[in-house]
Amino acid sequence: MPKTDCSKSLSLMSAAETETACRFHRSFPQYGETPLVNLSRLAAYFGVKGIFVKDESFRFDLNAFKVLGGSYAIGKYIARQLGKEISEIDYNTLVSDGTKKKLGDITFYTATDGNHGRGVAWAANRLRQKSVVLMPRGSSQIRLQNILAEGADASITDLNYDDAVRLANKKASRDPHGVMVQDTAWEGYEEIPGWIMQGYGSMSFEAARQLKEAGFERPTHIFVQAGVGSLAGSVAGYFTGIFPDNPPKVVVTEASAADCLYISSLAGKLVGVKGNLTTIMAGLACGEGNTISWEILKNCADFFVSAPDWVASRGMRVLAVPLKGDNKVISGESGAVTAGLLFTLLRDADYRDFREALGINADSVALLFSTEGNTDPEKFRDVVWDGEFPSGNM
């Protein structure tokens, strides 16, 4: 998909907004910068300059990046209720007796396959508030238990992801103390999803600085996964904004069963995907895209890829069993799909045309985001130990 002028859609993910989000997250006692793993041996093996993976399995001990968005959105909402800007408050302010007395009880509602809901539940619990989390049918029992452990009222519904979102929104609208905190946007509901995208920006802010510390000024290529597209829009917006004269090429990767952005790129407008959305990439099983993220992606992304499950399983194995000298990355199904895609493009002759269209060569520096660890350990073992979803033709 050819790029056009991105400037009008990039203010949401400006460097200043992203730095504000990162400063907020640093105020949490649980904060720690996640590692940027340099797969230098893999890069040398394929004859490229660099391959880097941001490993979010270490984020706040929650095994996924999603808490960055939920916590920041909740923080901004509470700041507004206090009549302040987010830059004026920190974690200690949010958890204080004075803040609790002014706010009273708030219940934050959301729908999730696991990671986002756990992040919202964790943030609400830490900030002395409540949460209600709905999950789509087929959700992992382990992920449900992790959300319940954070104090949420959580359950698995008989709905697909998009319908679970609608139900959570209905429940929030009927609760006088309810607030919907969803990582997607639709007409009439865009402010909080925008805050969530800004919260995700802490990850990009860290990665850009870590890349420079490793001796690389900028990535030439960014591979980022997408469900509704909030993460992809956040990453694409931030890196396009900080490198306006020579932005990295952005490759957005979705699960084939829920490739709404890929289909939207072909249609030239945002369209949805219906059905059960069955894929091992539970975090990407979303059939309706984020409207504000789409405004960034339609202008700033270079390619949209619809990837079958075997691409994710290949990525999980490549990261978990690296070349000697490279550090391993324990990455879940949704976290590893971009690694599987890049590996496939670099290794398999069948994809030479795509590789050449991307302009991948000896000077290329690829940046990937492993957005989750083994959030479903049994599925992780099925794939990495037992070879479930073996590699095949894309």
Distance of CA 229 to the CA centre of its chain: 8
Long-range contacts of residues 384-389, Cβ cutoff 8 Å, at least 24 apart: 384/316, 384/317, 384/320, 384/321, 388/313, 389/280, 389/309, 389/310, 389/312, 389/313
pLDDT per position as a tens digit, 337-380: 999 999 999 999 999 999 999 999 999 999 999 999 999 999 99
Residue 194: alpha-carbon gap to chain centroid:
13
For the segment 169-202, what is each residue's pLDDT rounded down to a tens digit?
Answer: 999 999 999 999 999 999 899 999 999 999 999 9
The CATH code that applies to domain 67-189 is 3.40.50.1100
Q: What is the DSSP string of 334-394?
A: HHHHHHHHHHHHHH-GGGHHHHHHHT--TT-EEEEEE-B--SSHHHHHHHHTT--S-----
Q: Which CATH number fits domain 7-65+193-384: 1.20.210.10, 3.30.465.10, 3.40.50.1100, 3.40.50.10860?
A: 3.40.50.1100
Active-site residue list: 66, 113
Give residue-wise pLDDT tens across range 272-286. Answer: 888 888 999 999 988
d(CA 125, CA 364): 43
Which amino acid, one-letter code, is at 136? P
List pLDDT tens digits, range 58-78: 999 999 999 999 999 999 999
The reported pTM is: 0.94
Rounded CA separation 214/212 (Å): 5
Q: What are the extents of the domains in the chain?
A: 7-65+193-384, 67-189
